[in-house]
């Protein structure tokens, strides 16, 4: 399982990274591996606001459809339009070109309650 050392994580397998005042979010390498080939990603409108834990989108693979959850509360600043035509980027590069949304956090302190890479790895492997 690959991890991004600079990111924080959720139990529901999203990662978040700080980019200036904004936060960028996607799904983890472990999540894309479990889902297998991703065939469709549905992302929210730019400008929409969500609370932490709200569903912001849907991801569909040949195996299953899953909801995507907001790792922190905030407003959607941008979404990765490339995923609409190339959902396979989530499989190929989950922490890079497979990013999903850019968030303007309404409560930046929520960052501190997210899982560290070590904590996330532990929650997945149960070790």
Interface positions with another protein (CB under 8 A): 34, 37, 39-40, 60, 62-65, 87-88
Show the 3-state SS of 16-76: EEEECCEEEEEECHHHHHHHCCEEEEECCCCCCEECCCCEEEEEEECCCEEEEECCCCEEE
> Is the CB of 23 or the CB of 83 nearer to another protein?
83
Q: Residue 63 Cβ, how far from another protein at the closest point, in Å? A: 5
> Is the CB of 8 or the CB of 29 nearer to another protein?
29
Taking a C-beta distance cutoff of 8 angstroms, is the pair 89, 43 a contact?
A: no
> Is the CB of 19 or the CB of 67 nearer to another protein?
67
Q: Residue 13 Cβ, how far from another protein at the closest point, in Å? A: 13
């Amino acid at each position: 399982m690959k991890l991004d050392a600079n990111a924080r994580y959720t139990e529901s397998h999203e990662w978040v990274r700080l980019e200036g005042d904004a936060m960028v979010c996607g799904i983890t390498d472990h999540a894309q591996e479990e889902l297998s080939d991703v065939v469709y990603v549905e992302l929210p409108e730019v400008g929409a606001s969500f609370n932490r834990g709200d569903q912001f989108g849907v991801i569909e693979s040949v195996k299953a459809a899953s909801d995507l959850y907001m790792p922190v509360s905030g407003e959607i600043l941008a979404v990765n339009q490339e995923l609409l035509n190339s959902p396979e980027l989530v499989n190929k590069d989950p922490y890079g070109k497979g990013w999903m949304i850019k968030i303007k956090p309404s409560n930046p302190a929520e960052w501190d309650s997210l899982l560290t890479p070590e904590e996330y790895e532990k929650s997945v492997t149960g070790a």
